[in-house]
Amino acid sequence: MKSKLFIFIIVSLILAGVFQYDYDSHTNYFAEKNIFVTLPKGKTLEILSFGFKNFVADMIFIWSIQFYSNYNLNNRFEYIEDIYNIITDLNPRYRAPYYVGSWIMALELNNYKMAIRLLQKASKNLKDDWDFDFESGYYAYKYLKDYKLAEKYYKKAAEKPDAPSFVKRWQAHTIYMKDNLTYALKMWLEIKENAKNKLEKNSALNHLYQIKFEIDKKNLEEKIKLFEQRFRRKPVNLKELKRKGIINMIPKDFKGEDYIYDFKTGKIKAKKVFRWKKFY
Amino acid sequence: MKIRAIALNTFKEATRNKIYYLLIFFGIFFVLSSKLVTLLTIGDHVKVLKDLGLASINFFSVLIAIFTGIDLVYKEIERKTIYNILSKPISRSCFIIGKFFGLALTLFVALISMVVMFFLFMLLFSGELDVRILVYFILLYFELLIITSISLLFSSISTPILSSVFTISLYLIGHVIWTFNEFKDKIVNPIIKIISYILYYTLPNLEKFNIKNSIVMNIDIDIGMILSSICYAIFYIAALLILTILIFNKREFQ
């Protein structure tokens, strides 16, 4: 009797395997498809979690990682903002969903504004963390090319208690990028004075060199134009500007060396050029 | 002395039940298996370990509180062993209080065994021992005592299935009653407003014992709030036990 039962179990398992094989041969698990995702709002889910909201947030977050790793789903980004808002509504101080959600939004979906929105929610909920504002600033700087917005976020990040020194350098750099040269010069001088290592100091010196050059270039080229209006020719060299009383002194670069003057074009160049702005 | 004897007997009887061990086993099993879940996540693994561990202990200890609480009093009535007990010089109030303390001891042992496993597990996988979690377990224990007294109340007046439904419903209501706080002030009708106020203050508010989020996310815990929650639990349990005794005293056993 026992051996008959054993044979029956084996046969049943073999038959189940045959049906599974048949099902698999007709199914393409990796075919591209659309999916419909529906989840209640964060507040509703918080009520429905009956005191287990952290657990629910963890589960949705883990599911979202697997879901957004599935490249066969064509419309998987449709509800991405809602999903990460639900997770972060359930557990506003849960860091990982802010990072992961914003990475997916920015680097896969290329929706930097959406990524910044999530990061700013993180910044609001985790007030002492500098990195969410820093990352917002980076997306605004690198991808949106909105230097005003980037400066705003870098400034916010730099004001946080544990913000590393490079955050302030990024802020100073965005100020330079949005052409507020006087303020940028002031900030970089401050960074140079407070530099704690060679890297910080060299970085500040490079920026100061560039900014001083841009300020001097603008002033000198204006004076050259003035000279041209008066004498209907370009000055032979910068000394001529001084000789004719158009400038009081010939500015030097941050290292104390002379600028290069091109007589034919009337343009000023520095010996060292940093290609931080497209027009150099 | 009589209460102590009933309590110890209740504890012995509860620990003879296989469901008790099964629920403890599942509680520990889910705490240990949370390590597997961290393999699927990105970021703070310790946070996920804590979340899943605390949620598992919470869930299974609530099940123990509900099912052992309901089962024990009803069994005494069903098997008619209550006639034996009440024929002795033991008052009905002693019987209920003894049952409550016996269940409290049963829950304490179950909770301690899960907590010890949780701490060992955390020490092994994260190398840290957050003693603040103990505060959560103390509050959870008081929440369990409230659930036990609710289940004791229902089991002394109803059948096990109905008692389970009522207790689980009150447990769920207890965790969403905080939403009522916003709602009750918006009611215009004065009668409904009074009813909603009465309901808000008489139904158990169990969410105040839920400090999992503060513990896991390292948010400061207000000691005053914890003491207030413990006092709330003590008075609520006292009220429920008195109500149970009053109902139990009126009940006639045939």
pLDDT tens sequence across A183-206: 888 889 888 888 888 888 888 888
Q: What is the DSSP string of A157-187?
A: HHTSTT--HHHHHHHHHHHHHTT-HHHHHHH
Ramachandran angles phi, psi of A237, nearest 5°: -150, 180
Nearest to A80 by CA among A33, A114, A34, A42: A114
Number of domains in chain A: 1
Rounded Cα distance between A110 and A258, Å, is 45
Q: Which residue from A minimizes the CA distance to B169?
A: A50
**Closest partner residue to B43 among A50, A93, A96, by Cβ?**
A96
Residue B59 with chain A: CB contacts under 8 Å: 52
pLDDT surpassing 90 at residue A10: yes
Distance from CA of A212 to the nearest CA of B (A): 44
Instruction: Give residue A3's pLDDT.
Output: 86
3-class secondary structure, B132: helix
Whether A58 and B217 have beta carbons less than 8 Å apart is answered as: no
Give me the mean pLDDT over the A167-178 stretch.
Answer: 86
Q: Tell me: the pLDDT tens digits for A69-97? A: 888 777 888 889 989 999 999 989 999 99
Which domain, by its residues, includes A214?
196-280
Question: Are B55 and A52 within 8 A, CB to CB?
Answer: yes
Residues 6+ apart with CB under 8 A from B227: none
Q: Which residues of B touch A (CB under 8 A)?
A: 37, 40-44, 47-48, 51-52, 54-55, 58-59, 171-172, 175-176, 179, 206-207, 210, 212-213, 216-217, 219
Find the farthest-apart pair of alpha carbons in chain B and give their distance in angstroms, rounded: 63
Hey, CA dihedral for A138, A272, A277, A158, is it positive or negative? positive
Residue B179 with chain A: CB contacts under 8 Å: 47
Q: Give residue B138's pLDDT band: very low, low, confident or very high (50, 70, 90).
A: very high
Q: Which residue from A minimizes the CA distance to B52?
A: A55
Instruction: Give residue A88's pLDDT.
Output: 93
- Token pair for residue B119? 């701490």
Q: Tell me: the pLDDT tens digits for B22-55? A: 888 888 888 888 888 888 888 788 888 888 889 9
Which residue has 């041969």 as its token pair?
A25
Instruction: Give residue A280's pLDDT.
Output: 41
Does a structural domain hold residue A155?
Answer: no
H or E stretch including A267?
Answer: strand A267-269
Q: Which residue from B minimizes the CA distance to A48?
A: B176
Q: Tell me: the pLDDT tens digits for A128-168? A: 999 999 999 999 988 998 888 998 999 999 899 888 888 88
Residue A58 with chain B: CB contacts under 8 Å: 37, 41, 48, 51-52
Residues 6+ apart with CB under 8 A from A119: A98, A102, A132, A133, A135, A136, A139
Residues 6+ apart with CB under 8 A from A232: none
Q: Give residue A278's pLDDT band: very low, low, confident or very high (50, 70, 90).
A: low
For an interface test with A, the pick among B47, B57, B211, B229 (most A C-beta atoms closer than 10 Å) comes out as B47
Nearest to B68 by CA among B23, B113, B27, B26: B23
Question: Are A100 and B42 within 8 A, CB to CB?
Answer: yes
User: What is the percent of chain A with per-residue pLDDT over 70, rounded to a whole number?
Assistant: 95
Does a structural domain hold residue A57?
Answer: no
Question: Are B175 and A53 within 8 A, CB to CB?
Answer: no
Residues 6+ apart with CB under 8 A from B179: A47
Low-confidence winner among A45-49, A150-154, A207-211, B85-89 (lowest mean pLDDT): B85-89
Which residue has 């804590």 as its token pair?
B50
- Token pair for residue B90? 């033991």
Distance from CA of B74 to the nearest CA of A (A): 28
3-class secondary structure, A262: strand
